[in-house]
Amino acid sequence: MAADRDEDDARLLERLAMAKKLLQRAVVEGDLEPGVAAAACAELAGEYAASFAAERGLLPGPVLDEVARLTRRRGAAVHHALAPGAPVGHGRGASRTNGPEH
C-alpha cells in the first residue's frame, strides 16, 4: 500500500513538473499572461490541497493555509529577484524589507 502511494506521488510530481514547464513556456512565448498562469496554478493548488486533506482525513483549512503560505513565500522571493527595491508585503504594512510572513 505504501509502495502504491509512493508510485502515485511520483507520477503526480512528474505531471506537476510537466505542467509547470508547459505554463512557463506559454508565458515566455507570450501565449499566456503571467496573471492567468498564476490564477490557474492557484486554482490547481487549492484543488490538490483539498484532495490531499480529504485523502488523509485532515481538515482542509490548515492544509490550504500552508499552501497559501508557501505560495506567498515563493512569490515574494521571485518578486524580490525581479524587482529588488520594490516594497514587500501588502496593504498599509508594506515595507521595503522582508517583513513578517503572513
Q: Summarize the confidence of residues 79-99 as an average pLDDT.
A: 66
Q: Summarize the confidence of residues 79-91 as an average pLDDT.
A: 77
Is residue 100 one of the residues assigned to a domain?
no
**What CA–CA distance (Å, rounded) separates 4 from 52?**
15
Is residue 25 one of the residues assigned to a domain?
yes
What is the reported pLDDT for 28? Answer: 86
pLDDT band, residue 59 (cuts 50/70/90): very high
* pLDDT per position as a tens digit, 32-51: 888 888 888 888 889 989 99
C-alpha cell at 14: 512528474
**What CA–CA distance (Å, rounded) separates 9 from 4?**
9
Q: Summarize the confidence of residues 77-83 as an average pLDDT.
A: 86
Is residue 91 one of the residues assigned to a domain?
no
**What CA–CA distance (Å, rounded) separates 41 from 19?**
9
Is residue 38 one of the residues assigned to a domain?
yes
What is the reported pLDDT for 80? Answer: 86
**What CA–CA distance (Å, rounded) separates 99 from 90?**
10
pLDDT band, residue 9 (cuts 50/70/90): confident
The boundaries of the domain holding residue 72 are 8-82
Is residue 92 one of the residues assigned to a domain?
no
Whole-prediction pTM value? Answer: 0.61
The number of distinct structural domains making up the chain is 1
34 or 59: whose pLDDT is higher?
A: 59
